A and B are shown apart, each in its own frame.
Chain A
């Protein structure tokens, strides 16, 4: 797979292919598998993603610690928000839904990780519904997302323990923004700007889960990560460009991650996890998990 998104964009435009087609052709060559088989695997992933969204929107799921749950349904059913009934509200509800299912030990697709699994399915399926996009086109968009994630894995990191939340929900926002721009008719160059615009909005984001659990703030970070992705999609499709090339934005994300104090890298030693309330809640909830037989 590519380790430079700019190189991929140049190759795609030179060969008059979409980034998804380039990603699928490259994966087929790398892994010695036919494109159809890779598309089938992505289609199966999409089915699981949709299942998690559906399950989470019901609203009766809670994590074992009880720290998170039920909020996806609140957003989905609300009539109070300024975006009620809009694709924006729908995407937010979907992102919460997947991450609530994850926290409750339901079945999800790590994309790129379990902790950031809500952003990509929420953005793609939410926008596809709003714009009448076919399942096949969503599957193609997943390939584009995979290409973007592979570049981030090569150049920076996809692990909160290594790079903070910017490497999990931040990377997911970049993947979702780029994939959605292609799905909605953007050019490969616009995909690159969308990734840069999303990723710049999450630079420096720390990984600070209470008690080290993938629950709080992870569930909400997936919703805000999706919102950043949507902002990037809106800008990129309007022709907004980002002056720092996308590869350099990804590189600096990696650099910030390496410089980040270990307290902010999934250790529950800093950030929200280390606030007085964060510490108290973590203590209480871990005791509860133990009592319930863990």
Chain B
């Protein structure tokens, strides 16, 4: 459903809602995977992101997002210099990810402490984004809900367990998707929720014996 505030908005640093605001939101979501500003980040820019990204500040916008800047934060202009001061070692590469990839796609590989993740995101225009892959698992995250991502051993009742835990915390589930690479293999769960899960909820999910890891990705739009 189109909202008035999607049309009159977002408030953003220019010059492009897809190449700047959307790129920043992809960076913000990636930051959630490692729970803070990464120490190292490798960005593989594809298609139009690779061809015209520099002129649109796509690199600054992604780096800014990784440091927690939102699309209207004017520090984005200086994000690459700030990244050097903040100890974020970044590298941008131009590549072709696949023949069918969206024209505005970036694959981000992140490291922070002992955490390391890979995420692929597309910028769809007007600041809207779509995360398509996390650590090799196909996902669908749009960043307009608070989202919990987790990898679980493939045990029976895992979905019910999570649903109960969220219900007990009065958190309403908007969508829940489960994907596996193979039968009996680890399951990747993406749960979009209406309310921001607080730290006790996050810790309770992490304490489930069959959850390998779990992260909260705060919503970045809407």
Residues of A with Cβ closer than 8 Å to B?
1, 23-24, 27, 30-31, 38, 41-42, 44-45, 48, 63-65, 101-115, 117, 120, 142-143, 145-147, 149-150, 153-154, 158-159, 161-162, 175, 211-215, 267-268, 285-286, 289-290, 293-294
* A161-B4 contact in complex given A65-B55, A105-B14, A294-B59, C-beta closer than 8 Å: no
Kindly state the separation between the CA atoms of A286 and B21 in the bound complex, as whole angstroms.
Answer: 21
Residues of B with Cβ closer than 8 Å to A?
1-18, 20-21, 48, 51-52, 54-57, 59-60, 72, 74, 76-77, 80, 103, 125-127
Other A-B pairs, 9, CB within 8 Å; known A27-B4, A105-B60: A42-B5, A48-B11, A105-B13, A106-B14, A110-B12, A112-B8, A117-B14, A285-B55, A289-B54
Q: Chain A CB within 10 Å — which of B7, B21, B60, B72 has the most? A: B7
* A212-B52 contact in complex given A105-B20, A161-B103, C-beta closer than 8 Å: yes
Kindly state the separation between the CA atoms of A113 and B16 in the bound complex, as whole angstroms.
Answer: 8
In contact, A1 and B74 (Cβ under 8 angstroms)? no
In contact, B55 and A213 (Cβ under 8 angstroms)? yes
**Number of A-B pairs whose CB atoms are under 8 Å?**
153
Kindly state the separation between the CA atoms of A286 and B18 in the bound complex, as whole angstroms.
Answer: 19
Kindly state the separation between the CA atoms of A35 and B35 in the bound complex, as whole angstroms.
Answer: 35
Kindly state the separation between the CA atoms of A290 and B94 in the bound complex, as whole angstroms.
Answer: 14
Contact residues in A for B77 (Cβ distance below 8 Å): 105
In contact, B7 and A146 (Cβ under 8 angstroms)? yes
Contact residues in A for B5 (Cβ distance below 8 Å): 27, 38, 41-42, 146
The residue from A63, A107, A115 contacting B11, defined by CB atoms under 8 A apart: A107
In contact, A107 and B13 (Cβ under 8 angstroms)? yes
In contact, A107 and B15 (Cβ under 8 angstroms)? no
Q: How far is the CB of B166 from chain A (nearest CB, A)?
A: 20
Contact residues in A for B80 (Cβ distance below 8 Å): 293-294
The residue from B8, B15, B76, B126 contacting A214, defined by CB atoms under 8 A apart: B15
Contact residues in B for A113 (Cβ distance below 8 Å): 17, 125-126
In contact, B11 and A109 (Cβ under 8 angstroms)? yes
Kindly state the separation between the CA atoms of A30 and B2 in the bound complex, as whole angstroms.
Answer: 9
The residue from A1, A63, A267, A286 contacting B2, defined by CB atoms under 8 A apart: A1
Closest to A47 in B: B11
* A213-B15 contact in complex given A30-B1, A38-B5, A159-B125, C-beta closer than 8 Å: yes
In contact, A23 and B4 (Cβ under 8 angstroms)? yes
In contact, B55 and A211 (Cβ under 8 angstroms)? yes
Contact residues in B for A38 (Cβ distance below 8 Å): 4-5
